[in-house]
Amino acid sequence: MTRLGHVVIVGGGTAGWMVAASLARMLGVGTTRISLVESDEIATIGVGEATIPPIVAFNRMLGIDETEFVNATQATAKLGIEFVDWHHVGHRYFHPFDRYGADIDGLPFTHFWLRARGLGLTAPIDAFSVGTLAARAGKCAIPTGQQPNAPPYAYHFDAGLYARFLRAYAEGKGIERVEGRVVSVGQAEDGSITTLRLSDGRATDGDFFIDCSGFRALLIEGALGAPFDDWSRWLPVNRAAAAPSRRMPDIRPMTRSTAREAGWQWRIPLQHRTGNGYVFCDAFLDEGRAIADLASDLGDLCSDEPRLLRFTTGCRPRQWMGNCVAIGLAAGFLEPLESTSIHLVQAAISKLLAFFPTGTGDQVLADRFNREMGDLFVCVRDLLVAHYVLTERDDSAFWRHCRALPVPDTLAEKFASFSARGEVIPAHQDLFRDSSWFAVLGGQGLEPAGYHPIADAIASADLRKRVTVVHRSIAQKVSSLR
């Protein structure tokens, strides 16, 4: 069987070293040589510090000890995201990682909750989520799999420390790190990449290349000319001012997103500091003022000068071209409102491993990869857009603009389904399941007119009893947590 002789990763940072660690673990370096080219001269973005639960499985796949990881990356646990002032000023809701209640007869509990509410139930949907109640009570703040009733969790961690941790892991398994800045790319007559030339005159040849060069997209765009689909018409924010602040005295296992005048501000609690950022649209707020607003909000707690990031939301419809695949920011960017940036890297790695090329007949694999990653980006995009278009805020030009944003057809279909009977039926590649859509669409004020008809199969008295049992069970689980 044909095997690739040399795989070259361009760029380090979180994406590059996640790729390197995964290839080292799953492929080994015995039959395929794996190199990572990066330059200390080029700073990484490194502000994505919040994740979603699949990252736990990723670390386990690598065989990483969780306690070692937590200590090395200053990690805390995350049970979901709290959204403040998004629907209207003074309103807040929680998007948990766990499902609401317990499915009844194979149907999501939310349908029974909707019916029970019509029968007089006053308990809010949050009362049926262990993750929501535990996060608000400050329980499960440090990651651990030792609590039997613990809900699904993810991590907050220092992205720079995580990249360093994975680098040590990958190099320990034989990955070759090449220090150098790529200045030109050699290509064959058919356009395939053959060689990377470095600033010191050295050259690195390869059979397959993975572009983790960030927004520069050195290979996928610079050499191969892959187009980029701009999604600014749906997601207008295009700037982020980021700054760390001192450690929070009371760490709660949640990311907080607070809507502001021209965007939103994140707060991410780590063991040693707190991550903060103001994501905004420069058409509605001057960059200098955004930086000043963030610094003013943090006040004396701010531990470093805010830095500015510029971006365009969107993705490449062809993230795999020829003998090159783009992963991370080189493939596309979606604002970190739902903490999906690192997951999109993880998903691309998983698909690359599943469709790993041999150098023969790879176009079918590339087409499948591109189709599935494109669908995944659209799924995330739609949930992000929902936060903006469902707002009732009209207190600034930005929010009035958001209320008038066009709704993608794929999202309009989800709105119609949810409005009719309180459900969004996920497609195959959807990252977010029905409970996530229920949390966000309901939290943003979209009210279902009905529910699934199977929920009517239970007699009213029996339904009240079963909902009461679930309610008590949730409360007991939360009380048992530390």
Active site residue 465: no
Beta bridge partners of 185: 196
DSSP 393-409: --SSHHHHHHHTPPPPH
How many alpha carbons lie under 13 Å from residue 175 in its C-beta half-sphere? Answer: 29
Token pair of 451 as six digits: 């529910």
* End-to-end alpha carbon distance in the chain: 53
Residue type, 127: A
CA distance 5 to 468: 61
HSE-CB of 75 using CA atoms within 13 angstroms: 28
User: Taking a C-beta distance cutoff of 8 angstroms, is the pair 163, 46 a contact?
Assistant: yes
Residue 163 DSSP label: H
Pick from 326, 138, 293: which is nearest to 224 by CA?
Answer: 326
> Reduced to 3 states, what is the DSSP secondary structure of residue 257?
strand
CA separation for the pair 292, 299 (Å, rounded): 10
Name, in order, each residue with C-beta under 8 angstroms of 341's C-beta and a sequence gap of 6 or more: 48, 333, 334
Ramachandran category for residue 60: left, alpha or beta (phi over 0 → left; psi -120 to 50 → alpha): alpha
DSSP run (H or E) holding 179: strand 176-179
DSSP state of 374: H
Q: Which of 78, 139, 351, 414 is catalytic?
A: 78
Buried b / exposed e along 280-299 (16+ C-beta atoms within 10 A): bbbebbeeeebbebbbebbe
Q: List, in order, residues 6 or more apart from 270 with CB less than 8 Å away.
A: 49, 74, 75, 76, 156, 157, 158, 247
DSSP 8-state secondary structure symbol assigned to residue 121: -
Q: What burial class does residue 190 get, using C-beta atoms within 10 Å of its C-beta: 0-12 exposed, 13-18 middle, 19+ buried?
A: exposed
Burial class (CB in 10 A: 0-12, 13-18, 19+), 160: middle
> Quick one: which H or E segment has residue 389?
helix 362-389
**3-state secondary structure (DSSP) of residue 384:** helix
CA atoms within 13 A on the CB side of 425: 8
- Residues with a catalytic annotation lie at 78
